[in-house]
Amino acid sequence: MSRLLFNVHVWSKFEGRSRTILNGMYMRTWRRVYGQPRYGKCSASDYQVRVALQVPSLDCLMRQRRLVYLSRLACSDHEALWALLMQRSSVGEMLPWVRLVLNDLRIVKAHVSALSLLPDPFDDCSQYWMAARNHPNEWRCIVRRYFTP
């Protein structure tokens, strides 16, 4: 699995054909573990397979990895990196990867009660950055609490 998903969390775009191909390979592995490979008669959906095996969806896994990677970036303690990540284009758009991370933070915040007191990440993401930077082990535990099959 690590070869299949190596550094996918740093992609700035995770949708379309590339996501479909990766999800197909990811689910092929779990279907074989479940005992229902796709090439035979299959009665279970991908969701049912993931629920039965208690494994996260590919999107959940990528979300967790991106947020753990955010902590690693924050711990590098380069102030210029924070400035670069907060950079906006001439029309006011965020960098695509930053938009993905902020979206991830918003989704995880809705599912994990430990983040409920923090503001919406699109309004103020500095508190998330500080939490990820100052408490990397706790941050990793919080992010891993988020699970969707």
**What's the pLDDT band for 118 if we cut at 50, 70, 90?**
very high
Contact by Cβ (8 Å): 30, 50: yes
> Residue 70 above 70 pLDDT?
yes
% of the chain with per-residue pLDDT over 90:
50
Q: What does the alpha-carbon distance between residue 44 and residue 46 come to, in Å, rounded to a whole number?
A: 7
For helices 46-53 and 16-34, give the axis angle rounded to 10 degrees: 50
For 137-147, write each residue's pLDDT tens digit: 999 999 999 99
In this predicted structure, what is the pLDDT of residue 98? Answer: 87
Whole-angstrom CA distances from 137 to 43, 71, 100, 125 are 40, 9, 22, 19
Amino acid at 33: V
pTM for this structure? 0.84
**What's the pLDDT band for 15 if we cut at 50, 70, 90?**
confident
Mean pLDDT of 119-123: 92
Q: What does the alpha-carbon distance between residue 98 and residue 69 come to, in Å, rounded to a whole number?
A: 12
Amino acid at 130: M
In this predicted structure, what is the pLDDT of residue 40? Answer: 66
> Residue 62 above 90 pLDDT?
yes
* Length, in residues, of the chain: 149
Phi/psi of residue 94, each to 5°? -80, 165
Question: DSSP class of residue 94?
Answer: B
Q: What does the alpha-carbon distance between residue 49 and residue 32 come to, in Å, rounded to a whole number?
A: 10
Mean pLDDT of 77-104: 80
- 7: tokens are 């550094």
> Residue 63 above 70 pLDDT?
yes
